[in-house]
């Protein structure tokens, strides 16, 4: 599982050291998904972050797409956004991935990132975008916790 929030620095080549527990979670074999040493990632434009995970993460999106009839407009839209936007980022021997320059430019990722664990996946945010998202959702979270009696 991908748990917790981690602040990490990027080096000059946009390499990010992925926490060991995230690397272990990404390496869990699953179904007929091709195993590789890395993570699947795609830009989640609605949140201005990257969403990443291992084979189970990829399979979840694959099943979502395959549930739609072949060549249907909805399926084509999902395929274009998810498959067309997804990249496989391989771990180097030190456990780092290299973030694509285009993603770093689009989301203002420069020196550091925040990795947010979300059980079956994790997100990579610029620190500024993450702080803004947390601030926006703080009131929503308070209301939800109150409603749930937490």
Q: What is the pLDDT of residues 9-61, one digit of tens each?
A: 999 999 999 999 999 999 877 766 666 789 999 888 888 999 999 988 999 99
What's the predicted TM-score (pTM) here? Answer: 0.89
**8 A C-beta contact, residue 58 and residue 38:** no
User: Where exactly are the structural domains of the chain?
Assistant: 5-148
Question: What is the reported pLDDT for 36?
Answer: 79
How far is Cα 82 from Cα 68, in angstroms, rounded to an integer?
Answer: 14
Close Cβ partners of 108 (under 8 Å, ≥ 6 residues apart): 126, 128, 129
Neighbouring CB atoms inside 10 A of 111's CB total 10
Question: What is the reported pLDDT for 106?
Answer: 87
**8 A C-beta contact, residue 119 and residue 2:** yes
Residue 143: HSE in the Cβ half-sphere, 13 Å Cα cutoff? 5
**38 CA to centre of own chain:** 12
pLDDT in tens, 71-119: 999 999 999 999 998 999 999 999 999 999 998 998 889 999 999 999 9
| CA-wise closest residue to 82 among 74, 90, 72 | 74
Task: Select from 1.10.3720.10, 3.40.1550.20, 2.60.120.260, 1.10.540.10 the CATH code of 5-148.
Answer: 3.40.1550.20
**63 CA to centre of own chain:** 18
Neighbouring CB atoms inside 10 A of 11's CB total 11
């Amino acid at each position: 599982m991908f748990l917790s929030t981690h602040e990490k620095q990027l080096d000059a080549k946009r390499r990010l050291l992925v926490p060991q527990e995230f690397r272990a979670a990404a390496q869990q074999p699953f179904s007929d998904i091709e195993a590789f040493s890395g993570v699947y990632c795609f830009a989640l434009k609605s949140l201005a972050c990257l969403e990443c995970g291992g084979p189970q993460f990829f399979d979840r999106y694959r099943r979502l797409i395959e549930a739609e009839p072949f060549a249907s407009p909805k399926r084509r839209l999902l395929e274009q956004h998810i498959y067309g936007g997804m990249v496989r980022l391989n771990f180097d021997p030190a456990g780092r991935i290299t973030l694509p320059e285009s993603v770093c430019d689009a989301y203002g990722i420069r020196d550091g990132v925040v990795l947010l664990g979300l059980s079956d996946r994790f997100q990579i945010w610029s620190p500024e975008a993450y702080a803004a998202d947390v601030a926006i959702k703080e009131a929503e979270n308070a209301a939800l916790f109150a409603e749930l009696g937490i």
